[in-house]
Amino acid sequence: MAGVIEPALQAAEIARSTARPTSDPTAYDLYLRALPILFSASREIPQALKLFEEAIERDPHYGPALAWAAFCHYRRCLDARSDDPAADRRKGVDLARRALQVVSDDPGTIANAALALGYFGDDLGAMMALVDRALTLNPSFARGWHISGTLKLWAGQPDLAIKHVEASLRLSPRARVGMAFSLLGAAHFVNRRFEDAVPKLLLAIQEDANYPPPYRSLAACYAHMGRIDEAHAVVARLRTITPLVVPDELPLRDPEQRELFLSGLRLAAGEPE
């Protein structure tokens, strides 16, 4: 039952935080239908994206829908479930930039657009500044702190990432926390605190068994700890979700952290260095 109620609660909180809903009631209805689907499970993201796209067709200037659609394209690439990553990248960047053009004061739209653009290669410093602005507009915006933590991790600042993700969990304890624990585990991992990373990553997998990132971090973590059999077992589970074990692209900007992750994951997957 919690798996049904919690995504609905989280979606309701986000819908209430939207500064100005569209004047098109059908577009708003499509948007509200998409949010709980988006938060229910990783595999449901294409269905949520379809609803956001329908909302955008009705109102091309609907900022929150534009930003969430950009987020969906980011997740399709992150989760390795995209049939055409280059097309998802182009669409995600276009949608995020359109969202920022039409909305200047909605923290959720600003933060979601910044997250997508940061993943797709825009300057992380500029994207973190956008999220800082969103948090200035609403210092109690839990998702904003979560996104800030994500960008801090990508920028090579794992301690700040942990601080900001933990702040998001304090502000919104009812939210689904799988992605938060995935981030916390990854931050401990790149700091080489492997023993601290493992329990966080196991919790992330427990909440959403179809979300690939914590499997990758956990496999790399086990490999660097010398727990090779366990690393192989995690990779075997990951292969039931996606054929892409070692990602072609990583959002981590720090070269040493990238290599730590990739070398561990290659070892876990039995691939040559």
The secondary structure of 204-260 as a DSSP string is: HHHH-TT-HHHHHHHHHHHHHTT-HHHHHHHHHHHHTT-S-SS-S------HHHHHH
Question: What's the confidence (pLDDT) of residue 4?
Answer: 41
The proportion of the chain whose per-residue pLDDT surpasses 70, expressed as a percent, equals 90
Question: What's the confidence (pLDDT) of residue 227?
Answer: 98
Write the pLDDT tens digit of every residue in 218-242: 999 999 999 999 999 999 999 999 8
Q: Which residue has the tokens 């790149």?
A: 190
Count CB atoms within 10 A of the CB of residue 145. Answer: 26
Q: Which residue has the tokens 């909605």?
A: 106
Residue 169: pLDDT over 50:
yes
Alpha helices in the chain (DSSP H): 2-17, 25-38, 45-58, 63-78, 85-102, 107-119, 124-137, 142-154, 158-171, 178-190, 194-207, 212-224, 228-239, 255-269
With left for phi above 0 and alpha for psi between -120 and 50, is residue 7 left, alpha or beta?
Answer: alpha
| DSSP code at position 270 | T
Write the pLDDT tens digit of every residue in 175-218: 665 589 999 999 999 999 999 999 999 999 998 898 899 999 99
Question: What's the confidence (pLDDT) of residue 172?
Answer: 85
Domain 1-160 architecture: Alpha Horseshoe (1.25)
Domain 177-273 architecture: Alpha Horseshoe (1.25)
Q: What is the mean pLDDT of residues 94-105?
A: 94
Angle at 161 between CA 145 and CA 238, to 5 degrees: 100
Write the pLDDT tens digit of every residue in 45-57: 999 999 999 999 9
- Does residue 269 or residue 40 have the better pLDDT? 269
Residue 2: pLDDT over 50:
no
Write the pLDDT tens digit of every residue in 17-41: 454 468 899 999 999 999 989 887 7
**Side chain identity at residue 235, one-letter code:** V
CATH 1.25.40.10 location in the chain: 1-160, 177-273
Report the distance separating Cα 258 and Cα 260, nearest Å: 5
Question: What's the confidence (pLDDT) of residue 206?
Answer: 92
Angle at 199 between CA 198 and CA 203, to 5 degrees: 120
Which tokens go with 24?
A: 């098109």
Q: What is the mean pLDDT of residues 138-163?
A: 97
